[in-house]
Amino acid sequence: MPVHKPIRYAVVGLGHIAQVAVLPAFAHARRNSKLVAVVSNDRTKRRELSKRYRLEHAFPYDQFEDCLNEVDAVYIALPNSMHAEYTVRAAKAGVHVLCEKPMAVTVRECRQMIDACRRAPVKLMIAYRLHFETLNLAAMDLARSGQLGELKFFASSFSMTVRRGDIRTKRKYGGGTLYDIGVYCINAARNLFRAEPTEVSAVSINSGLKSLAEIDETTAATLRFSDEHVATFITSFNAADVAAYRIVGTKGHVHADPAYEYAEGLEYSVTIDGRTRTKRVGKRDQFAPELLYFSDCILNDTQPEPSGEEGLQDVRIVEALYDSARRERPVAIRPFEKRLRPTSKQRISRPGVKKPDLVKVQSASR
């Protein structure tokens, strides 16, 4: 059996999620993944983090092409507005791309990313970490098993109080509640029903808060599916922390709360015929499974899931929802056929990581 060298990674962008979750995750992904470089324009971050993780290289953004000569893959943890540019540049250098969600800000950018990676050819995966979280997958399996009866609707609430000045509040960086947290609700509904919405509608509300004036403060969305399933969710950057969903069928329901977190444990309860049971897990590393799986896809030349097409569809729905909110009417969604499904190879569990000391960064929420 051939012995493969680990895939060499650079983490591009050293914001909160990179420091808290991505960089530490390589300790749990040593089987096939190795962190060798970081990319940031902040000299202190480059110096401190490359020393902490004993890295071979640390580059500013204007030396990105030099970085690409030293690695096999990049994990892009940049602001949303930069995802497309850095993915295309990596692909042109023959480097594989694992990109944070949302895939990009526009459908046009998503297509550019897909086309560039296809031409290279290199692998492209969107970092939907919950596609690898075993508790989340178990809840989805239960919902689709028939035990809840015929599935009827999905409802979700996802909110936080975002710090003043955070990039999520800036339009030029691709800010907005749907891009940052709404994609979790959209992706969960699509994968739960294994179907695609045919029509969406949304209402966005702003209370006049100056710090959120460039984006939607709160958005309520409805996704209608052709098979009579319906999904609703509300996202907000000016509300208490909530991250929950409920799946309701004719015989019972599943309630997950918290459902989307990576900094704490997850829990869901199942109620069937009036009887409730609960399942919970402590904090786990949701990022190492992504690295392990993506590196295996590179080494074995297999197509990763979530694919670029998966990310594109979510961005298409986000665009349609914002369009609906502006026009104050429902918007039709063009047909989309999901090509790849989650597999048993994505059921990977690793213990949680201790929060490291942060270098010139803070969390998005207060």
Average the pLDDT over 77-98 and give the result.
98
Judgement on whether residues 105 and 234 belong to the same structural domain of the protein: no
- Is residue 208 a part of any domain in this protein? yes
Judgement on whether residues 90 and 113 belong to the same structural domain of the protein: yes
Active site residue 184: yes
**pLDDT for 357 beyond 80:** yes
Judgement on whether residues 177 and 260 belong to the same structural domain of the protein: yes
Judgement on whether residues 141 and 269 belong to the same structural domain of the protein: yes
Which band of pLDDT confidence, cut at 50, 70 and 90, is reported for residue 140? confident
Judgement on whether residues 69 and 114 belong to the same structural domain of the protein: yes
Strands (E), the chain: 7-12, 33-39, 57-59, 73-76, 96-100, 124-127, 151-161, 197-205, 218-225, 230-236, 238-249, 252-256, 266-272, 275-281, 331-332
Contact 244, 156 (CB under 8 A): yes
pLDDT digits (tens, 9 = 90+) for 235-272: 999 999 999 999 999 999 999 999 998 888 889 999 99
Domain residue limits at 118:
1-131+284-304+348-366
Residue 270 neighbours by CB under 8 Å, 6+ apart? 142, 147, 252, 253, 254, 276, 277, 278, 279
Judgement on whether residues 23 and 111 belong to the same structural domain of the protein: yes
261: which 2 tokens?
């977190």
**Which CATH number do you get for residue 124?**
3.40.50.720
- Is residue 107 a part of any domain in this protein? yes
Catalytic residue among 34, 45, 101, 123: 101
Which band of pLDDT confidence, cut at 50, 70 and 90, is reported for residue 1? very low
User: Rg of the chain's alpha carbons, rounded to an integer?
Assistant: 20
Judgement on whether residues 264 and 297 belong to the same structural domain of the protein: no
- Is residue 216 a part of any domain in this protein? yes
Judgement on whether residues 122 and 79 belong to the same structural domain of the protein: yes
- Is residue 329 a part of any domain in this protein? no
Judgement on whether residues 289 and 276 belong to the same structural domain of the protein: no
Catalytic residue among 9, 173, 184, 322: 184
pLDDT digits (tens, 9 = 90+) for 106-119: 999 999 999 999 99
- Is residue 310 a part of any domain in this protein? no
Mean of the per-residue pLDDT values for the chain?
A: 94
Residue 145 neighbours by CB under 8 Å, 6+ apart? none
Judgement on whether residues 114 and 139 belong to the same structural domain of the protein: no
Count of domains for the chain:
2
Contact 310, 127 (CB under 8 A): no
pLDDT digits (tens, 9 = 90+) for 270-301: 999 889 999 988 888 999 999 999 999 999 99
CA distance 221 to 202: 4
In angstroms, the Cα distances linking 107 to 73, 212, 220, 295 are 23, 24, 21, 26
- Is residue 7 a part of any domain in this protein? yes
Judgement on whether residues 126 and 216 belong to the same structural domain of the protein: no
Judgement on whether residues 260 and 189 belong to the same structural domain of the protein: yes
Per-residue confidence (pLDDT) for residue 264, from 0 to 100: 85
- Is residue 148 a part of any domain in this protein? yes
- Is residue 311 a part of any domain in this protein? no
Question: Within 168-251, where are the H helices?
Answer: 177, 183-193
Residue 95 neighbours by CB under 8 Å, 6+ apart? 68, 71, 72, 73, 74, 122
**Which CATH number do you get for residue 218?**
3.30.360.10
Active site residue 101: yes
